[in-house]
Amino acid sequence: MVSGKGGTGKTTVAAALALALAREGRRTLLVEVEGRQGIAQLFGTEALPYEERKIAVAAGGGEVYALAIDAEQALLDYLQMFYKLGSAGRALKKLGAIDFATTIAPGLRDVLLTGKACEAVRRKDRSGRYVYDHVVMDAPPTGRITRFLNVNDEVAGLARIGPIHNQAQAVMKVLKSPETAVHFVTLLEEMPVQETADGIAELARAGLPVGRVVVNMVRPHHLDDEALRAAGELRGDVAHALSRAGLGGPAERLVEPLLEQAAEHASRVALEREQRRVLARMDVSAYELPLLGTGVDLAGLYELAAELRKQADEE
Amino acid sequence: MDMPPELVVDRLLDDPGTRIIVCCGAGGVGKTTTAAALGLRAAERGRKVVVLTIDPARRLAQSMGIDSLDNTPRKVAGVAGGGELHAMMLDMKRTFDEIVESHADGERAAAILANPFYQSLSAGFAGTQEYMAMEKLGQLRARDDWDLIVVDTPPSRSALDFLDAPKRLGSFLDGKFIRVLMAPAKVGGRAGMKFLNVGMSLMTGTLNKLMGASLLGDVQTFVAAMDTMFGGFRTRADATFRLLQAPGTAFLVVAAPEPDALREAAYFVERLGAERMPLAGLVLNRVHGSGAAQLSAERALAAAENLEEGGIVDQEAGKAALGAPAAHSPAGGGAPESEGAEAGADADAAEGADVEGITAGLLRLHAERMQLIAREQRTRNRFTSLHPEVAVTEVAALPGDVHDLAGLRAIGERLAAGVPAGA
């Protein structure tokens, strides 16, 4: 499960993780549950249907499949699978029951989404091997993740007997097992880090397995405080160096704006350092992914996957 | 590319006809902060304002001097100028409970509030938060205590949920399914409904099988108890929707100059148009600029390389450049050799400074900044070519988060193109 505050690059990290896990001929399934078609955007394919499709081949021959889970389709699927309710399913739809179930009924929607993912986790082929070695979910954001994963407990409490109860219990068993890990994507900024801390605490309270923190979009540091202080006092020399470097005429006028940018950089570096300290106190190990200068494209995804792989192997 | 029209925030805030401002946009673009900054600015320009936040970060609540915002508007202290700022945070369970309490008599209300199905529904599953946000907005507007209501929208899984949820809930409550759950006999009364009747017994059986009798029982009890309120729900959902379309309402789409955020923003603009909701413009947060924009990234990089390789440096400086650490290492710029004393700079700070390395670092930083600006510009151009009519205001990126009213005020100034609130 990959969660994170909005804007931290949760979908990108989930996709990179799916690629990284698909090493040595393994097969992963990348699952999307929020109907935003983020995976399709990222891989540059057309909108994903409610169907498992191969979208990428990983280094070493592994495969990544993708699935955009649609709650309504998942419910009809489920009815068909367990109750052979083809036509009754359609009747239910006509009456607005499916709408009810997937949008309004407490948590049923989330039960269906997690249920479908768990089905993929447990699915085996004829020879008894798991169809997918790993299932990676681009999960709801940090603020909703615990409720999303815990919904099965809630529903199992509401529906005290019957198949929904059993289904919810079975899903909860998978989610709370050591086979599941919930990773949080964050930036080195105050609010995402704070939300990560809150999310981890909430998850732990609910007895759900906390995985790693992935610090995303880490930017290189060019100048430290000391260098910056020195630069401020060496304005004349800096101007000199600029013109020696071939920036001739306007060199004088460049000094102030460049120093100003450097000061902004330095205060950001200081803020990032503070956020690193906060993260270190969380006692959860972290991976770091660099900011890709040109934005995330397919090549960038492979780069991030390799980076994750490298950091995992180093452990 | 033509520049989009400019969104003049102060005109919007000062116009007594503006009664509601709705801030919408993707998660993580600074929506809540924008709403709070707009509220503060309007208050400091003399209006009586309430800001309805949905899920503010603790820091943001603290920045308004209110550690724990709750479901009642609280006056924010320290607001300058003649107006007033009140702030509140949506408590969806409390809001839902209030609706029940105000629409059902004591005994019935108690039965609903105790129903397990109701408790889950109201504690916030899909759609409830969106519905309650709109409900709260309707309530605030009906009280007419404020000149201006600024409302933040929930961090929905899809940006459009807050527009859809009230309608969905309304249509469900009006729908056949409810009637089936409540009173199968009523629907089956007419001859033409026979088919439905068959479907229904099949369905009740199915539901029982699926949900377990206890849950179905809870749902039926809930629905029966809510019976008298359904008409009210529908009416309110419709009224809120109309309120959003009314001339006193202005939508601001909030985004950052990133592909995902602007893609969501474009969806929003299209959707608001389709629903005839009044769009005031786009707030583009975290935009970067440079005071040295005349120096391109390419030239800056080339110059940095010159300095690092000592290629074009003169004799004297060349020595210092040798062995300078790579400027992109986090500790860059700490070369042991001293140079630059010629400028007569402060010896303490300049001691050990490597002017070449430092200058190269400044140039690399600048190149990065220029690349970022170019990337942001491309992303924005894509939006502008899709929606050239949408007015835009830019908010320059701040290095850190907002912690107090002064921070919100600074953002307000940036929203209004640098004009102080009192001006």
Q: Collect all residues of chain B within an 8 Å Cβ-Cβ radius of residue A262.
A: 361-362, 365
The H or E element that residue B17 is part of is none
Which strands, in side-by-side order, build the sheet including B148-152?
A: B74-75, B84-89, B48-53, B148-152, B20-24, B249-255, B279-287, B392-396
Is residue B20, in this structure, part of any structural domain at all?
yes
The closest of B294, B288, B291, B295 to B364, measured between CA atoms, is B295
Is residue B336, in this structure, part of any structural domain at all?
yes
Q: Among B54-68, B99-113, B277-291, B409-423, which stretch is predicted with the lowest mean pLDDT?
A: B54-68
Is residue B372, in this structure, part of any structural domain at all?
no
Confidence band of B228 (pLDDT split at 50, 70, 90): low
**By the CB < 8 Å criterion, does B357 face chain A?**
yes
Q: Among A26-35, B178-187, B315-324, B411-420, which stretch is predicted with the lowest mean pLDDT?
A: B315-324
Confidence band of B191 (pLDDT split at 50, 70, 90): very low
> How high is the mean pLDDT in each 10-residue block of chain A (315 residues)?
91 96 93 87 88 90 93 77 63 66 66 88 93 96 86 75 79 91 94 92 92 93 80 87 82 88 88 92 92 82 95 90
Least CA distance to A102: which residue of chain B? B126
The identity of residue B326, as a single letter, is: A
- Contact (CB<8Å) A257/B291: yes
DSSP A126-140: TTS-BS-SEEEEEPP
Domains identified in chain B, total number: 2
Beta carbons of B418 and B6 less than 8 angstroms apart: no
Give the single-character DSSP code of B123.
Answer: T
**By the CB < 8 Å criterion, does B330 face chain A?**
yes
Shortest CA gap A141–chain B (Å): 8
Shortest CA gap A96–chain B (Å): 6
State whether B63 and B159 are in the same domain: yes
SS3 A15: helix
Residue B327 has pLDDT above 50, yes or no: no
State whether B260 and B340 are in the same domain: no
State whether B114 and B67 are in the same domain: yes
Q: Among A119-123, A306-310, B66-70, B399-403, which stretch is predicted with the lowest mean pLDDT?
A: B66-70
State whether B198 and B333 are in the same domain: no
Q: pLDDT averaged over chain B? A: 78
Confidence band of B158 (pLDDT split at 50, 70, 90): low
State whether B197 and B309 are in the same domain: no
Beta carbons of A136 and A10 less than 8 angstroms apart: no
Cα separations (Å) of A101 from A37, A74, A258, B61, B116? 22, 11, 58, 35, 16
Mean pLDDT calculated for residue range B201-215:
62
Q: Among B136-145, B269-278, B328-337, which stretch is predicted with the lowest mean pLDDT?
A: B328-337
**By the CB < 8 Å criterion, does B336 face chain A?**
no
Q: Collect all residues of chain A within an 8 Å Cβ-Cβ radius of residue B350.
A: 230, 233-234
In chain A, positions 265-284, which contact chain B (CB-CB < 8 Å)? Answer: 265, 267-268, 271
Round to whole Å and give the CA distance between B83 and B61: 20
Beta carbons of B169 and B162 less than 8 angstroms apart: no
Least CA distance to B118: which residue of chain A? A106
Cα separations (Å) of B176 from A109, B179, B188, B217, B419? 20, 5, 12, 18, 55
Is residue B243, in this structure, part of any structural domain at all?
yes
- Contact (CB<8Å) B27/A242: no
Beta carbons of B33 and B411 less than 8 angstroms apart: yes
Nearest by CB: A103 against B27, B168, B312: B168
Least CA distance to A92: which residue of chain B? B203
- For residue range B79-136, what is the model confidence (pLDDT) as tens digits? 998 899 999 988 888 888 888 888 778 888 888 888 877 877 776 555 677 778 888 8
State whether B274 and B360 are in the same domain: no
- Which position has the token pair 């001739």? A248
Confidence band of B176 (pLDDT split at 50, 70, 90): low
Nearest by CB: A99 against B172, B290, B357: B172
Beta carbons of A120 and A174 less than 8 angstroms apart: no
Residue B296 has pLDDT above 80, yes or no: yes
What does pTM read for this prediction?
A: 0.81
State whether B239 and B211 are in the same domain: yes
Shortest CA gap B280–chain A (Å): 24
Is residue B389, in this structure, part of any structural domain at all?
no
Round to whole Å and give the CA distance between B306 and B207: 75
State whether B277 and B345 are in the same domain: no
ipTM of the modeled complex: 0.80
Least CA distance to B369: which residue of chain A? A261
- Contact (CB<8Å) B399/A38: no
Least CA distance to A223: which residue of chain B? B332
Q: Residue A87: what pLDDT?
A: 65
State whether B278 and B220 are in the same domain: yes
Q: Regarding predicted confidence, which is higher, A83 or B252?
A: B252
In chain A, positions 282-311, which contact chain B (CB-CB < 8 Å)? Answer: 293-295
Shortest CA gap B6–chain A (Å): 26
In chain B, positions 160-199, which contact chain A (CB-CB < 8 Å)? Answer: 165, 168-169, 171-172, 175-177, 180, 199
Count Cβ neighbours within 10 Å for each residue of A22-53 and write b for 16 or more, e otherwise: bbeebbbbbbbbbebebbbebbeeeebeeebe
Round to whole Å and give the CA distance between A121 and A109: 19
Q: Collect all residues of chain B within an 8 Å Cβ-Cβ radius of residue A264.
A: 399
- Contact (CB<8Å) A234/B202: no
**By the CB < 8 Å criterion, does B56 face chain A?**
no
Round to whole Å and give the CA distance between B211 and B192: 29
Is residue B2, in this structure, part of any structural domain at all?
no
Is residue B254, in this structure, part of any structural domain at all?
yes
Beta carbons of B364 and B300 less than 8 angstroms apart: yes
In chain B, positions 363-382, which contact chain A (CB-CB < 8 Å)? Answer: 363-366, 368-369, 371, 375
- Contact (CB<8Å) B260/A141: no
Confidence band of B318 (pLDDT split at 50, 70, 90): very low
- For residue range B330-382, what is the model confidence (pLDDT) as tens digits? 443 333 333 333 344 344 444 556 888 899 999 999 999 999 999 999 999 99
State whether B278 and B345 are in the same domain: no
- Contact (CB<8Å) B361/A223: yes
Least CA distance to A150: which residue of chain B? B125
Q: Please, is A207 exposed, middle or buried when counting C-beta atoms within 10 Å of its C-beta (0-12, 13-18, 19+)?
A: exposed
CATH number at residue B101: 3.40.50.300
Q: Among A271-285, B139-153, B194-208, which stretch is predicted with the lowest mean pLDDT?
A: B194-208
Nearest by CB: A96 against B177, B199, B256: B177
Structural domain of residue B324, as residue ranges? Answer: 297-367
In chain A, positions 66-85, which contact chain B (CB-CB < 8 Å)? Answer: 79, 83, 85
Q: What are phi and psi of B414, to 5 degrees?
A: -65, -35
Q: Please, is B112 exposed, middle or buried when counting C-beta atoms within 10 Å of its C-beta (0-12, 13-18, 19+)?
A: buried
The identity of residue B347, as a single letter, is: A
- Contact (CB<8Å) A96/B355: no
State whether B308 and B167 are in the same domain: no
- For residue range B1-28, what is the model confidence (pLDDT) as tens digits? 568 899 999 999 999 999 999 999 887 8
**By the CB < 8 Å criterion, does B315 face chain A?**
no
State whether B209 and B227 are in the same domain: yes
Best of B115, B128, B160, B177 to mutate (most A CBs within 10 Å, chain A): B177
Shortest CA gap B361–chain A (Å): 6
Q: Collect all residues of chain B within an 8 Å Cβ-Cβ radius of residue A74.
A: none
- Contact (CB<8Å) A147/B124: yes
Q: Residue A257: what pLDDT?
A: 92
Round to whole Å and give the CA distance between B317 and B286: 39
Is residue B3, in this structure, part of any structural domain at all?
no
Best of A237, A292, A294 to mutate (most B CBs within 10 Å, chain B): A237
Best of B197, B298, B358, B376 to mutate (most A CBs within 10 Å, chain A): B358
